[in-house]
Amino acid sequence: MTTDEARAELGTLLGVPPEGTGAAIGVTVPCDRWTEAATFARHSLGCGFFSFLTVVDWKTEGLEVIARVENLDALFSLTMKTRLEPGLTTCPSIMAVYRGADWMEREAFDMFGVVFEGHPDLRRILLPDDWVGHPLLKSYAVDTPYPPYR
């Protein structure tokens, strides 16, 4: 599976040619096809290495979930993005496909409040269990007081 073959197959699957240059491929996936894209990446494209999963808060345009996986033999990487509708905070979980998504999705839930459907144990990972709010959202001010920590 070379980089060009991967690009071609992704274009066929999603109907739009992927972005990115060289060995870095980027795709934007509709939210309902998120798990399908991840499974395709793992089993058909050979991207077995899970790098990270995170969320970006685009304020009025909604949240965006980004996941990056890599093919260690053909040395290309695939960055998958999916945009959640403004006001929507749920996204399917890809933990069944990539085990590393476990803690990454818990951190995304902790920091952004995104609930990953299908994750068996979604609880806060970095902040204490009794924390209120999701700090990395743009609506959360940096100097929000939170006794006794702040």
Partner 1 sequence: MSIPRDSLLHPTVGDPSPPRVITELDYAGTERLTMNMGPQHPSAHGVFRAVLTLEGETVVAVDAVLGYLHRCHEKLAETLTYVQYPTIASKTDYVAAMTSELAYVMAAERIGAIDVPKRAQYLRVLVAELQRIASHCLWLGTWCMDMGGALGGGATIFLYCIREREVVLDLFEALVGARLLYGFHQMGGVRYDLPAGWVAQCRAATDLIEARILEYESMLEDNDFFMMRTQGVGVISREVAETVGISGPLLRGSGVAYDIRQAAPYSSYEDFTFSVPSQPAGDCFARYRVRMDEFRQSIRIVRQIVDGLPEGPISSRPGVKSVVQVRIPKGEAYARVEGPRGEVGCYLIADGGPKPYRMKWRGASFSNLAVLPHIIPGHKVADVVAIMGSVDPVFGEVDR
Binding region for partner 1 (CB under 8 A): 23-24, 42, 48-52, 54, 56-57, 66, 68, 72, 75, 79, 97-100, 102-103, 109, 111, 115, 119-130, 135-136, 142
Nearer to partner 1, 10 or 102 (CB): 102
CB of 12 to partner 1, least distance (A): 25
CB of 11 to partner 1, least distance (A): 22
Q: Are the CB atoms for 50 and 43 separated by under 8 Å?
A: no
Fill in the amino acid letter for 33: R
Which tokens belong to 97?
A: 């496909």
Nearer residue to partner 1 within complex by CB, 8 or 126: 126
Nearest residue (CB) to partner 1, 27 versus 97: 97
Burial of 27 (0-12, 13-18, 19+ CB in 10 A): buried
Compute the least distance from the CB of residue 3 to partner 1, in Å.
12
CA nearest 126: which of 145, 108, 150? 108
Query: Long-range contacts for 59-63 (Cβ within 8 Å, ≥24 apart)?
Result: 59/138, 60/86, 61/86, 62/86, 62/87, 62/88, 63/88, 63/89, 63/112, 63/114
Choose between 10 and 78: whose C-beta lies nearer to partner 1: 78
Shortest distance, CB of residue 20 to partner 1, whole angstroms? 11
